[in-house]
Amino acid sequence: MRYFITGFVAIVCLVIAVAGFRGSITRNRPIEIFPDMDRQARVRPQAPNLFNEIYGANDGRGSRLPVKGVIARGAPITDEAVNTGKKEGSDEWIEVNPLKVTKDTLERGRERYDIYCTPCHGKAGDGNGITSQYNLVAADLHQMKLVQIEDGYIFDVLKNGYNLTTNEVGIVSYRMPAYDSKMSNEDLWHVVSYLRALQYSQLGKLEEIEIGRDELQKVIEAK
């Protein structure tokens, strides 16, 4: 019991001593628990750096600052059109997908579409997905109003859902759910591109696609 009391008193004194210094001002150098971390040796290059000589950046740094405008990997794109589907500083939808359409982006869009959209809208986008067997009706994506609607509007529906309703206890539900938490903005735009490809496959004119595979690829890459 004596050791317990002694230990308890020691802990109380230590807590009071440490807490008493909180907020105090001193000119003394702070205690360095790991001085080797606080006082690391300067990183010196193993060989002369031509970049430093040309641009006058010979300041002894081991790493360079990123070039202006660089976006960190995984960081969101700050373009308002990409993030919202609307023109900058406006409530108007952008007409055309702001991201470049390539074979890879279409394939990515097809992959995401198959995962999230096919159960309701079907592989062909005609609204004949598996949910139709349970009387859950999804939109036919080939109807003319959706063909003519702006790409930005389709992006917004994919991102934020459609036909939001709130019941009497405040629970929010959507006729079509939002996929903002499941897909990045880039993937949402890729789905928009793939949806347009589906529409074109059903509604495109034969003379419009008889331009040859090479010419079609050039059109896609130039978009």
In a domain, residue 106? The reply is yes
Is residue 13 assigned to a domain?
no
In a domain, 127, yes or no: yes
Q: How many domains does the chain have?
A: 1
Residue 120's domain comprises 80-222
Whether 215 is in a domain gets the answer yes
Q: Cβ neighbours of residue 42 under 8 Å, at least 6 residues apart?
A: 60, 62
- Is residue 192 included in any domain, yes or no? yes
**Single-letter amino acid, residue 181:** S
**What CATH number is associated with residue 147?**
1.10.760.10
Place of tokens 């609607």: 149
Residues of the chain with pLDDT under 50: 172-173
In this prediction, residue 117 carries a pLDDT of: 93
Q: What per-residue confidence (pLDDT) applies to 86? A: 92
pLDDT of residue 54: 61
Q: Give the three-class secondary structure for 129.
A: coil
Query: Looking at residue 56, what is its pLDDT?
Result: 58
Task: Please indicate, yes or no, if residue 166 is contained in any of the structural domains.
Answer: yes
Q: Whose CA is closest to 81, among 188, 183, 199, 174? A: 188
Which pTM was predicted?
0.58
Q: For residue 12, what pLDDT is reported?
A: 76
Let me know the angle formed at the C-alpha of 36 by 33 and 38, rounded to the nearest 5 degrees: 70
DSSP state of 194: H
Q: Is residue 10 part of a domain?
A: no
Contact 195, 113 (CB under 8 A): yes
Q: Is residue 68 part of a domain?
A: no
* Rounded Cα distance, 206 and 144, in Å: 18
**pLDDT at res. 127:** 87
